[in-house]
């Protein structure tokens, strides 16, 4: 059995769907590193430090919190995995459209790092429609996001969008 799993992503912000995958992956791996990516192609609304802090706060609420580490990384995922002597990464799939992109990414990563393996997990069905992008959109328009993100993350989003609306 593999002991280390890397769960990479931008987590801008972390959602209950992400937490569901983290919690469930802890049932199969003794150590899970949530690797928060310094984004280059996505425009994040939160800084890397804020995203790491949000994931840390959210992960502390999990029963298996002691087995979850949160780190940031930049550059190629395969380089980060090599530096951690890891070969298994987790990616979440909500829909067929996710699979097409993730499949292509997994094949590229395997070509770059032959030891690379990917574990795909689907979130609980109550989270399948949640994405960080949709959460940000609802929050920016003043909608209730309490069913989509942990409380601390909701506070971050409310503060971010209240500053945006007030010009700060």
- Of these residues, 94, 131, 140, 160, which one is catalytic? 94
**DSSP calls for 46-91:** S-HHHHHHHHHHHHTTSTTGGGEEEEEE-S-HHHHHHHTT--EEEE
47 in catalytic set? no
Tokens of 147: 């069913």
Residue written as tokens 């310094």? 38
Asked about 132 being catalytic, the answer comes back as: yes
The catalytic position among 18, 56, 67, 136 is 18
C-alpha Rg value of the chain to the nearest Å: 16
Any residues with CB less than 8 A from the CB of 101 and at least 6 apart, and which? none
The H or E element that residue 120 is part of is: strand 117-121
Residue of 2, 42, 163, 165 with catalytic role: 42
Non-local CB neighbours of 154 within 8 Å, separated by 6+ positions: 145, 146
Active site residue 162: no
The catalytic position among 51, 67, 91, 132 is 132
By annotation, the residues acting in catalysis are 18, 42, 94, 132
């Amino acid at each position: 059995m593999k002991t280390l799993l890397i769960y990479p992503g931008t987590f801008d912000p972390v959602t209950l769907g992400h937490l569901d995958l983290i919690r469930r992956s802890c049932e199969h791996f003794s150590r899970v590193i949530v690797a928060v990516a310094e984004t280059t192609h996505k425009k994040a609304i939160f800084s890397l430090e804020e995203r790491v802090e949000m994931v840390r706060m959210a992960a502390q609420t999990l029963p298996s919190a002691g087995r979850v580490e949160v780190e940031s990384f930049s550059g190629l995922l395969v380089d980060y995995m090599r530096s951690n002597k890891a070969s298994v990464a987790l990616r979440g799939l909500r829909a067929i459209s996710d699979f097409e992109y993730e499949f292509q990414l997994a094949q590229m990563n395997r070509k770059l790092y032959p030891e690379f393996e990917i574990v795909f997990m689907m979130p609980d069905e109550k989270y399948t429609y949640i994405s960080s992008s949709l959460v940000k959109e609802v929050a920016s328009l003043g909608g209730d996001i309490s069913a989509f993100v942990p409380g601390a993350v909701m506070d971050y989003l409310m503060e971010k969008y209240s500053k945006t609306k007030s010009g700060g």
